[in-house]
Amino acid sequence: MKNFIHHDLPKLERKTGPDGKRVYATPSGKSYPSVTTVTSLHGKQAIMEWRARVGEEEANRISSRAARRGTSIHKLCEDYLLGVNVEPDPFDKETFQQLVPWLQEINDIHCLESPLYSDHLEVAGTVDCIATFQGKLQVIDFKTSRRKKSKNDIENYFMQTSAYAVAFEERTGIPVGHMTIMMTVDDDEPLLFTEKRDDWIKSFRDLRESYKKLFDI
């Protein structure tokens, strides 16, 4: 059984802002955009170009499939860490089993699908996991991909997890200096990326300022 460390984290109310984007209401009544909404600005042009290249119908089909796969693998990881009996469907079984050796290394879990917000960064969201992995307290994110990706392909993931690290320290006083991305790849070996929070938090702050200028929130 995994060891869980409880923190009295406040619940956040998820709302839709006037621009149709997701915002979270904090206990003080402030409304902040989600971390992932902010990081979606990064690489937005490349996504638009990809959708134009493959066509809207095909892009929607691929995106829907990717979202389903991501939700499924994420839930399997969460259940595994909670000690719930995991029975993946045949489509996901082989992919999920590749992550199990890394999941076995996770312990001292502080957050698992937990709400976090930062008044300093003016963002909020739900973090996948904050726990000890490979000897360090880290923000851990579970991702899926259709193809192998490099560090340069997933800069938004590093910015996203660095923001959660800051938000967690703000809420608990416990610093988190590292982030790990555990990524499954269709028909290939999974990928593991580990980065330092301080190498990415400035990029997130810059992106947050750009978002504020664009949407006035």
179 is a domain residue: yes
202 is a domain residue: yes
Q: What is the CATH number of the domain that holds 204?
A: 3.90.320
pLDDT in tens, 1-57: 899 999 999 999 988 776 677 799 999 989 999 999 999 888 654 555 444 565 766
Name 194's bridge partners.
Answer: 180
1 is a domain residue: no
Mean pLDDT check: name the lowest of 45-49, 141-145, 147-151, 175-179: 45-49
**How many domains does the chain contain in total?**
1
122 is a domain residue: yes
pLDDT of 63 strictly over 80: no
107 is a domain residue: yes
Beta 178-185 vs 136-145: how paired, if at all? parallel
pLDDT in tens, 167-217: 999 999 999 999 999 999 988 999 999 999 999 999 999 999 999 998 888
pLDDT in tens, 110-130: 999 999 999 999 999 999 999
pLDDT of 66 strictly over 80: no
Select the more confidently predicted residue: 90 or 80: 80
Task: Tell me the pLDDT band of 146, cut-offs 50, 70 and 90.
Answer: confident
34 is a domain residue: yes
pLDDT of 95 strictly over 70: yes
Q: What is the pLDDT of residue 108?
A: 98
Task: Please give the Cα distance from 143 to 50 (Å, whole number).
Answer: 20
pLDDT of 61 strictly over 70: no
Task: Please give the Cα distance from 83 to 88 (Å, whole number).
Answer: 14
64 is a domain residue: yes
Residue 8: CB atoms within 10 A of its CB come to: 6
Mean predicted lDDT score pLDDT of the chain = 89
What is the domain range of residue 199?
A: 13-215
6 is a domain residue: no
CA angle 143, 128, 203 (to 5 degrees): 75
Tell me the mean pLDDT in the region 153-162. Answer: 96
Distance of CA 147 to the CA centre of its chain: 18
Query: Cα(first)–Cα(last) distance of the chain, in Å?
Result: 42
pLDDT of 64 strictly over 90: no
